Amino acid sequence: MSRQNILVYIKQLNRPVFTTSEVMALSGKSPSTITQSLNYLQKQGLLIKVQRGIWAEADSRISPYSIIPFLTPRHRAYVSFVSALHLHGMIEQIPQVITLASTSHTRTVYTKMGTFAIHQIAPQFFKGFDWYHGDGNFLIAQPEKALVDSLYLSAHKKKQFGFFPEMSFPKSFSFARARKWVKCISIPSVRLYVEKKLIELS
């Protein structure tokens, strides 16, 4: 397959991030043919191999957050914890790792676009998020939910999520809304721990 032909299929997807499987489905070509062609385009500097099976156009300004939907294709994931608190302007320090909440198992994913820490939360607690209004097409926790998510993780012996140096609360932040999210925590001991931490911060 020529470089020009495969680029046509990539352009048909109309987004800078895509998967090997998507190009295969459009072209009808074999996995080996598509992989060889994509690797060739990478060597030419036209593509970036984000991770196995995930690619990005090299000539576009891509936010690392744009690849989040591709990291957990069978489970939804949203930006939360310290990453969401930073994007909401509640903490100034830029996290070195992008933190995500998902019902998928906890793990760290290393890519050419950045490092992502996926933290598993209970399905009944997987709520309180919406589409981000800035650059990128990804889901993000509401400010109150991001804080409660962090305290929820700190209750599970992840103490780094319970310490917030120089946190600031915007006028729109509601501790009443945060307390409502705490009530969604099903484990009594965790719920009591988060309630206590939230009182200390308010």
From first to last of its 202 residues, the chain has per-residue pLDDT tens of 555 688 899 999 998 899 999 999 999 988 899 999 999 999 999 999 999 999 999 877 888 998 999 998 889 999 999 999 999 999 988 889 999 999 999 999 999 999 999 999 999 999 999 999 766 679 999 999 999 999 999 988 776 677 777 889 999 999 999 999 999 999 999 999 999 999 999 8
66 vs 71: CA distance, rounded Å: 10
Nearest to 54 by CA among 98, 93, 10: 10
The count of structural domains within the chain is 2
Q: Which run of H or of E encompasses 110?
A: strand 107-111
83 and 41 part of one domain? no
Domain of residue 41, residue span: 3-57
Residue 45 sits in a domain whose CATH number is 1.10.10.10
116 and 44 part of one domain? no
Structure tokens at 7: 């680029």
44 and 100 part of one domain? no
98 and 185 part of one domain? yes
